[in-house]
Each structure stands twice: as structure tokens, then as C-alpha cells.
Structure 1
């Protein structure tokens, strides 16, 4: 397997209120949340997978809530691709058939979805690329500064390594899915921070999957020897979970990065089996996506929101909102994720983590 021109102050205030919402429906469902809205004010929302917890827990309910605040008579058509690019292409076709006017799209495969984006635009539908920049004629793009995400991950790993960070010290890199353009940006940012400071001795994709990442980590340990590895870069928390399991099975516990501030990632940070994660508050990203979608629906100019520009893989220069991510370690966990109420202390400090929470001053 993603704050803020930086609107982080306002964004975290929004997210502290909004994160209490719970997502409804099952991943992969193609559901209508119309609240009596009319077909002429229909907005589609397509998210890529249900493996990454943020999409169903945060992104979907926050986007739907913001759209309803801005446009009470709008309807929201929702579907989750459940990690299947072909399924998402069919979902775009379904959205076209349903007559949505604007489509918020987080592509499972940013390259493969191009023909679907073109088909939607040919029918007069405006497309907002969300979190990942889909190829094709999209109208706007909302995401975090993804290369900065990778830089922060790399920097946090170096900080955790301390004096062990030397040009000959070997680290393992487990990158995201190549079909996700964000994965390339994370990787580029991480290399920017890590290259020349440490030696990337093993690098593979984990496809955003815990089991794949665990297999790759085990292969790295076999190839390099567990005593010769000083740290691990994982592009997100889902994969970090698999990597942590692999390391535990091999009797080692090394500095380990992550991303998304997933609940289990936060718990590993408290327990000391993961060093850091990247926190991307939902409010600052979901709010402008919803605002731009409603502006496009109503024929209004959204350029005051999208003040940056991004070039897609298909060559389009896309007006963009690029937000600033936050690196989270045990030192600032209370002042970021917990302060914003992304999770309650009760959710984080279950019986398994009660002692570690107490030791960290989280109660």
C-alpha cells in the first residue's frame, strides 16, 4: 500500500470530530447513500481496497459526511474494489450507467484505470483523483505529498538506527505495489533520505500485503543473515505487521517503519516492535476532495483549493491539493494520533498492550 498547505491546524480539528464516525456497509458493496438526493446531484466514490483499514474506517464516512454538509440534496454512490483492478473498472462503468455527475476515484491500478477515466469523461463526468493520481483526463487530484512521506519514513529509520546508520550498514526495503503510483513516490522519497547513509542490501515489493511482506522479509534474512541487517523500511503498516511477525520468528527486533497510523501499527509502536508510522489525518484529505467534487457538480471554480499541480503518468498537468504528512513515533504519539482521537486509549491499550501503554504514559 497516502496533509495542508498546509492546513494541519484546521485539519486536525476537523479530524478530531470526524474520526468518531464508523463506516457502514461491507467492502466491495456497491451501495447508494442518497438521503433523498436527486440523480442530477449524484457523486460517485470508488475506493481501492478493504485491506488497508483507513479506507472503510475513515475515508469513506468522512467524504460522505462532508458531501452531505456541503450539498444536503446530493446523493453518494459508493463501491470498494476490494483490491481488484478489473472490479474497479466495472464499478466505473456502473457509475456511468447510474448517471453520476462527479466521480471521486482512488485507483487500485492508476495506469490500468485510464481507459475507464476516459470513458467517464466522455460521458461528461468530472473525475477527482483521490489519494492516488489516476492516469487520464482527471479534473483534480487530492493527496498527501507522497515523496515527503517516503523522506519522513527514511529519516525516522535513520534516527532510530542512531550510530548504526553507516554507509555499509545493511537495511531491507519492502516497497508498496508498483500499480500504485504513490508507491513509487514513497520509494523515491525514502531513497532520497537513505542513500549514502546506509546500504539498501535487499529491496522488493510487498504489494501492500502482510503475508507477501513477511515472505520477502524471511527471504532477506535468509539471503543476508539476521545479524547483518540493522533496520527495515516498510512502506506501510499492513506490511510492517507481516515483517514484524517474520522478525519475531527469527528472533530479532529491528527498527521498522510504517505508514497510515493503523491501529495495529500504533500498538506495535507502543510495544516496541515498530519504530514509526506516517500519520495522514483523514479530515484534511477528505474535506477538499468532497469540496472539489461539489464545486465541480455545481460548475464552480475550485482552483482556490487546488493551488498545486501534479503531472500524471499519462502527461496531464492536474490541479492538486498536496498535504503535509506527519511522522509519528512513541515520542509524539499522544500529541498526534491520540490527541486527534483517531483511536481512543481503550482501543489502543487492550489487555495485551496494557503494560506497554502504562510504561509509555498512555492511560
Structure 2
């Protein structure tokens, strides 16, 4: 897989600065902004576009990224507006949304691309018209003005190490199945690369590897094919690139009578936290959406106000199509049963009442979550 990001230059001080910057300021309200909002002043000069990719495989975009980004923009710029759209997993739809923002006079667009390889011409045309694009979460192809994400190869390393840790002393004799993300997503390539760095030298062999396309149904089918090909005892752990796919993988495993093998994920989805507490899932990766969304909002407002984006960037990064892009790259954390309370609960991502429901009350009690 050809990952777009090739190099990231980031130091400990830079990470600290990014977190401090992103955490500062009120996340308070302001006027509501959504896909129906009209460009401020009729020209779009006070409007920031926010385009997110999908809402089927991950709840994060609607539940966290959109409201956190909007609140931060309005805290920084009370007369600014956010015009939001979700591509619903369709690249052509996202292109239409992107073009519509430009035609409405929007000068700054924050873009999380559905297909990062498809955006080069979009971003080039936008730049030619004086529109600046910030790549958000995924490194969009083209001459973007800034990039805000996590250190995604490191995320893959965290996933790989968590899987190895879950296997314990059985790791060296373990065969592993890997279900990766979509090949159109450069982050998926980075997750995969990082995970292989750890897994390849720690386990016996990766015996089956396919893309689950960030689609739970596809991931479940690929898991079923792996079980058929390898047999029930042919593997001892499953790497899943995210939690949505992990849910379907676990369902497929249980349906085949395979229980108690480590399955990992990513995104810290609420149902994944519940599966971790109940023992069905070994770990997830928690990427704090608030610092990411707020960092992107600050970068976007600076650009809208004509300020140098480097005043908020704490790193630089390269893609296949852009070099030295001013960037903010944030750290992530592994979440296991042992630290649910100290991560997603302590940070306020979820309330105890969100997680400790029904069948999960006893598991929460056992983990000291009350």
C-alpha cells in the first residue's frame, strides 16, 4: 500500500505545545452551525467549511469531531460560521460538497477525505482560487495549507504492541490474522506499517491479511474466509484496524465457536469499551478527539484571519504531493480493561452511565468503574 505520509518531524516539546494549545480556550457555545448555514455576509468570508467522510463505520465524526470543531471555532471567532457536510462514504458526494463551498465563497476548508488519493486536483483548483485547505485526520493529496492528525504510524505500533501484550508468553508461537483499513485511506497504510513493525518480529507468522475497507460487513466476511481457510485453530489473535470492524470480527469468531482470543481495534467507541470490559475485545486505541478538533479549528481560524499557520503548527509533515506541510500531530493511548477508568472515563469522553449499562454493570464493578 502506498501511504501518502512519508515523514513526520515532531518532538516531545512540540507534542506538549500541541496539547496545551488545543486544550486551551472555551469549548462553549455560540450560534448553531450546520450544513444549512448560509455563508456569513453572503460572501463566505467568515465561513469555514468542514467536510467529514462518513458515519457508518465510526460514530466519532458526528458525535465528537463536528460539535467540538464548531464550538472551538465560535469560541475563537464569535462572528465566524461553520458550514458542515458529511460525505456518507461517497467520494463523488464529497467532491460536490467541496465544490459547493468554493462556489459560495468559503476561503478555508477543513477536509477529512473519503478517498485521500482523489483530492489532488480538488486542492490544486481550490488553491488557484485562493481557497486554503487543511487536511484533517487523513493527509489529503494536493498542496494543503496545513495538516492536523495523530502520529498514525505510532498508532499502528501501539496496536501491534497491544496485540502482542495480550498474547503474552504465547506470542512467539502465535499465528495472527490482520484485517486492515481501506486502501484509499493513507492512515490505514500507516496503521498497517506501524503494526507490522511490532507484530512481525514478535509472533510466529501473519497467516492471513486482507483489507476490511473500514466496513464491518466486509470485515466480518473476511474473518469468515480466514476461518474457512485456516480452521478454528489456525490462528491465535486478530488485528483489526478499527472498532467497527472488530465488532463484526468478534461476531464471526463467536459464530464459529471461537472464543477467548485477543482481538484489537481503534477509535475507543463506546461499544468497544464495553466489549473490553466484558472480555470480548482486548484493547482499543484512544485518540483524543477534542485536542484534534480544537487544533484544526484554531488553524482554520488563523488562516481565515490571514495569520501564519506556522504560528500554531508544531511539526511538519510530507505527503507524496506536498512537502513540509505545517502540522499538528498528536499522541494516542492504548485502552485495556485495566485503564478504562483512567482514560476515556477520566477524560470525559464517556460518562459511567454511558458504558455501565445492562449486562455491563458487573464488568464495570469488577473494573472499579462506578
- TM-score normalised by length of structure 1: 0.92
Contact 2:39/2:45, CA 8 A, preserved across alignment: no
* In 2: Cα distance, 1:87 partner to 1:316 partner: 28
* In 1: Cα distance, 2:59 partner to 2:74 partner: 23
Contact 2:156/2:193, CA 8 A, preserved across alignment: yes
- The 1:278–1:33 alpha-carbon spacing in structure 2 relative to 1, beyond 3 Å, is farther
| Alignment match, 2:189 | 184
2:93 partner SS: helix
Structure 2: tracts of 5 or more residues without a match: 1-11
Matches within 5 A, 1:292-307: 292-307=299-314
2:293 partner SS: helix
* In 1: Cα distance, 2:113 partner to 2:312 partner: 22
| Alignment match, 2:7 | none
2:347 partner SS: coil
- The 1:72–1:34 alpha-carbon spacing in structure 2 relative to 1, beyond 3 Å, is farther
1:228 partner SS: coil
Q: Does residue 332 of structure 2 align to residue 325 of structure 1?
A: yes
Shift of 1:313: 2.4
2:134 partner SS: strand
Contact 1:33/1:76, CA 8 A, preserved across alignment: no
Pairs aligned (count): 353
Residue 249 of structure 2, aligned match among 243, 246, 262: 243
| Alignment match, 1:6 | 16
Q: Deviations over 1:306-328 (max 9, x none)?
A: 12111112243311111111111
1:335 partner SS: helix
* In 2: Cα distance, 1:251 partner to 1:357 partner: 26
| Alignment match, 2:36 | 31
* In 2: Cα distance, 1:338 partner to 1:134 partner: 32
Which stretch shows the higher mean deviation, 6-15 or 340-349? 6-15
1:336 partner SS: helix
Shift of 1:46: 0.2
| Alignment match, 1:144 | 150
Shift of 1:74: 0.9
| Alignment match, 1:41 | 46
| Alignment match, 2:231 | 225
Q: Does residue 276 of structure 2 align to residue 269 of structure 1?
A: yes
* In 2: Cα distance, 1:213 partner to 1:44 partner: 32
* In 2: Cα distance, 1:274 partner to 1:113 partner: 35
* In 1: Cα distance, 2:210 partner to 2:168 partner: 24
Q: Does residue 94 of structure 2 align to residue 84 of structure 1?
A: no
| Alignment match, 1:316 | 323
Matches within 5 A, 1:59-78: 59-78=65-84
The root-mean-square deviation of aligned C-alpha atoms, in Å, is 2.3
Q: Deviations over 1:339-361 (max 9, x none)?
A: 11111111111112122212222
Matches within 5 A, 1:50-65: 50-51=55-56, 52-65=58-71
Contact 1:310/1:318, CA 8 A, preserved across alignment: yes
Structure 1: tracts of 5 or more residues without a match: none
| Alignment match, 1:252 | 258
* In 2: Cα distance, 1:33 partner to 1:169 partner: 56
| Alignment match, 1:338 | 345
| Alignment match, 2:9 | none
| Alignment match, 2:212 | 206
1:99 partner SS: coil
* In 2: Cα distance, 1:13 partner to 1:317 partner: 25
2:202 partner SS: coil
Shift of 1:98: 1.1
2:317 partner SS: strand
